[in-house]
Amino acid sequence: MALELCFAERIVRTPAAVSYRFSRPPGFAFAAGQYMLLWPEPDGSLVHPLSFSDGPEEDFLEFTKRMTGSAYCQLLERLRPGDVVTAKGPVGSFSAEGSSGRIVCIAGGIGITPIRSILAEMAQRHDRRPVTLIYGNLDENDIAFATELAALPLPQFRVVHVLQHPGGRLQAHSGLISAEIIRSEVPDLTAAMFLISGPPVMVKAVEGQLAALGISPEKIRIDRFLGYS
Ligand SMILES: Cc1cc2nc3c(=O)[nH]c(=O)nc-3n(C[C@H](O)[C@H](O)[C@H](O)COP(=O)(O)OP(=O)(O)OC[C@H]3O[C@@H](n4cnc5c(N)ncnc54)[C@H](O)[C@@H]3O)c2cc1C
């Protein structure tokens, strides 16, 4: 179903990630982890899928885009409060539902968006499942939602940062997300459900690492951000 969303607010998350908030149409519902197709220009042809980056209980809809300088990003950056965009959805089945044990979220960069939505919903529902978030970024400045994630009121939640260029302000593993890091940070590996979200290259690498750790594919759910190399 096509919807008209009214732009409300722009929030800079990092030098390379910006959130765009829209008024929530009355009665509109989505599930954490889903996305919408968003046309930033009325009657325009440029469209991309963007995941909701906040929980389904908020009175706004939020999407967070990695700023690449593309024509699409430029259209988003031109939005002013009151502007209307066209959206279709919600779509997608990426979710932490239906699993009772530990949840391990593995996010590569902007792949954090659906995972943040899922974690926000879990906090809102007072979910007591143990959750580990393994979150890979370039450096400390590149971590979107660092403060919000650290403050999430989830009783059994831990964020493990993995930075290609650690800066010393934050405790983090150095390099890329690896099988060794996953093994050392997740206590009950074989009982866990894994949610991976990020660019296709990162997702493929993590799938390989989980296979090497003996995790069966049924325990893995994937959100592949096509469009990033
Ligand atoms: C399910 C899903 C959820 C996503 N959620 C987010 C999100 O929350 N935040 C975010 O920043 N990005 C998200 N993405 C990626 C986003 O939709 C764009 O594809 C990506 O941001 C590249 O767009 P661009 O404007 O930066 O560059 P562009 O220059 O528009 O695109 C870069 C290249 O990728 C190709 N391309 C673009 N989009 C797609 C596509 N959907 N499928 C295949 N090829 C494509 C283009 O043809 C071009 O060659 C998501 C993608 C998917 C599939």
Ligand 1 centroid from CA 142, angstroms: 19
Residue (of 50, 127, 139, 53) closest to 89 by Cα position: 50
Task: Give me the pLDDT at residue 21, please.
Answer: 98
Please give the Cα distance from 12 to 1 (Å, whole number): 29
Residue (of 225, 221, 193) closest to 51 by Cα position: 225
pTM of the model: 0.96
Q: Are 182 and 188 in contact (CB under 8 A)?
A: no
Query: Cβ(66) to ligand 1 under 6 A?
Result: yes
Query: Cβ(135) to ligand 1 under 6 A?
Result: no
Task: Give me the pLDDT at residue 195, please.
Answer: 98
Query: Cβ(173) to ligand 1 under 6 A?
Result: no
Task: Give me the pLDDT at residue 88, please.
Answer: 96
Query: Cβ(19) to ligand 1 under 6 A?
Result: no
Task: Give me the pLDDT at residue 188, please.
Answer: 87
Domains along the chain with CATH numbers? 2-91 (2.40.30.10), 103-224 (3.40.50.80)
pLDDT one digit per residue (tens) for the chain, 229 residues: 789 999 999 999 999 999 999 999 999 999 999 999 999 997 889 999 999 999 999 999 999 999 999 999 999 999 999 999 999 999 999 999 998 899 999 999 999 999 999 999 999 999 999 999 999 999 999 999 999 999 999 999 999 999 999 988 899 999 999 999 999 999 889 899 999 999 999 999 999 999 999 999 999 999 999 888 7
Ligand 1 centroid from CA 50, angstroms: 8
